[in-house]
Amino acid sequence: MRKDDVTGALRIVSVIPTSPAEAAGILSDDSIVEVDGENITGLTQEEIISRVRGPAGTKVRLGIERLGVSGLMQIDVVRARVSIPSVETEMIDGVAYVRLNQFAANTTQELHEALVELTAQKPTGMILDLRGNPGGFLQTVVEVAGEFLPEGEVLTARSAGDEDVYQATAGGLAEELPLVVLVDQGSASASELLAGAIQDRARGVLVGTTTFGKGTVQTWRPLSNGGGVRITISRWYTPNDRSIEEVGLTPDVIVQWPASAITEDFDPQLQAALRVLRGEAVWPTWPLPLVADTFVPMR
């Protein structure tokens, strides 16, 4: 989520799979303007989050503004402990599909174990799904990049008077497989860095929509008056010296499709990725009126 500096609302960037928010019907791009009937647009992001959180099993009512819906929606969310699977995999029509939901401390090991099983099945290519991935640990994304990229630069972090270049190590399990990366507006921070490195080094094709645009590292400092200030301490750059801050990454193949319309049986972005791997024609912008029964069955 991200605080909207203009409206003061808390905008949902991506919804965690199997979370209480998803169960309640909250969607990406929704904006929270009320918590338990109180307008929160004048509060800081941290204050809003503290009011949304609470003991598992209790309920919070969120006042939601949604594009295309008139008036304020009132959605009750039952709080619960959120457990996020880092890695999800399957084989689709001979192609290895890997979804990364986050870059957590255990993601590197989970991914390596998953790739061992997938590559043993001799896939013809691989789809790396980073849609809705909000990021995570810097060290994790560098380690994950080593599974897909040959040895070389992943990203550069620059701060005042300092620069650190992060390198992928050789010997990854998926370095040579034809690769397509799925991204959308919910792909942020570390997921953008991985996708940007793959794009800059011509390792794979990016399919989807423009990413979120989070290319800074920030720290929060409280003030004596009860307020606070958020300070940018460094910026991240891709191997071609691109900053993703506020602009994101533009995919090589743009497939406009809202995350809320994607289902297990209807995913045009995934279908476009399969077409790329098969060497079939993919339009620069995929037309929206698609016929669902022409798709490859999934899951």
Q: Catalytic pick from 200, 243, 265, 267?
A: 200
Identify whether the C-beta of residue 208 lies closer than 8 Å to the C-beta of residue 254: yes
Q: Catalytic pick from 189, 224, 234, 243?
A: 189
Identify whether the C-beta of residue 82 lies closer than 8 Å to the C-beta of residue 20: yes
DSSP line for 265-297: TB-HHHHHHHHHHHT----SB--S---GGGSPP
For the beta carbon of residue 193, count every other beta carbon within 10 angstroms.
29
Q: Catalytic pick from 86, 129, 214, 267?
A: 214
Nearest to 145 by CA among 112, 101, 96: 112
SS3 (DSSP) at 120: coil
Identify whether the C-beta of residue 209 lies closer than 8 Å to the C-beta of residue 256: yes
Say which DSSP state 169 is in.
Answer: P
Q: How far is the C-alpha of 207 from the C-alpha of 20, rounded, in Å? A: 29
What is the chain's length? 299
Q: Is 122 a catalytic residue?
A: no
Q: Is 31 a catalytic residue?
A: no
Q: Is 129 a catalytic residue?
A: no
Q: How far is the C-alpha of 16 from the C-alpha of 232, rounded, in Å? A: 26
Identify whether the C-beta of residue 187 lies closer than 8 Å to the C-beta of residue 195: yes
Q: How far is the C-alpha of 189 from the C-alpha of 64, rounded, in Å? A: 25
As given in the structure block, the two tokens for residue 172 are 């990854």
Known catalytic residues are: 189, 200, 214
